[in-house]
């Protein structure tokens, strides 16, 4: 689903922005409650600020990850077409220096099926 569209990642970004905004509003509510009310339970303010702060940080991380994935998918562009490699003797990606299987047993370069019919081996 992510190969064709970035809508799910954009939805995750919007959820992260909304959650971080709600977290900041809740932090403001906690601070105002602490300053304006006298009968606040001990430790409630500290615990509430820790929870809302962590929620804010998690939301920012989710936002950054989703935007990063969107940029990666855009940079890749459309899927690349497959290209047939007609001759490759040695590859820097290979761990062995031996010739690859684009030559026959005699060392001749061939593309496609062999030209002569091979019978059963004795």
Q: Write down the pLDDT at residue 57.
A: 96
Domain-embedded: residue 113? no
Please name which of 61, 57, 63, 56 lies closest in space to residue 27, comparing C-alpha atoms. Answer: 56
- What residue ranges in 1-122 does DSSP mark as E strands? none
Considering the domain boundaries, does residue 26 fall inside one? yes
Looking at the domain assignment, is residue 19 inside a domain? yes
Is residue 108 assigned to a domain? no
**62 within domain boundaries:** yes
The tens place of each residue's pLDDT in the chain, 122 residues long, gives 555 678 888 899 999 999 999 999 999 999 999 999 999 999 999 999 999 999 999 999 999 999 998 888 887 766 666 666 665 555 566 555 554 555 666 767 665 555 555 544 54
Q: How many structural domains comprise the chain?
A: 1
pLDDT of residue 112: 55
Cα radius of gyration rounded to whole Å, the chain: 31
Predicted local confidence at residue 73, as pLDDT: 81
Q: Note down the domain range covering 40.
A: 7-76
């Amino acid at each position: 689903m992510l190969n064709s569209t970035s809508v799910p990642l954009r939805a995750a970004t919007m959820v992260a922005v909304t959650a971080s905004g709600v977290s900041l509003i809740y932090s403001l509510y906690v601070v105002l409650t602490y300053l304006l009310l006298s009968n606040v339970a001990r430790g409630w303010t500290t615990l509430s600020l820790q929870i809302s702060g962590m929620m804010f940080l998690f939301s920012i991380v989710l936002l950054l990850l989703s935007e990063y994935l969107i940029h990666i998918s855009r940079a890749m562009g459309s899927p690349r077409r497959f290209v047939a490699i007609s001759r490759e003797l040695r590859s820097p990606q290979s761990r062995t220096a031996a010739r690859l299987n684009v030559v026959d047993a005699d060392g001749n370069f061939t593309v496609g099926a062999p030209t002569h019919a091979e019978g059963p081996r004795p």
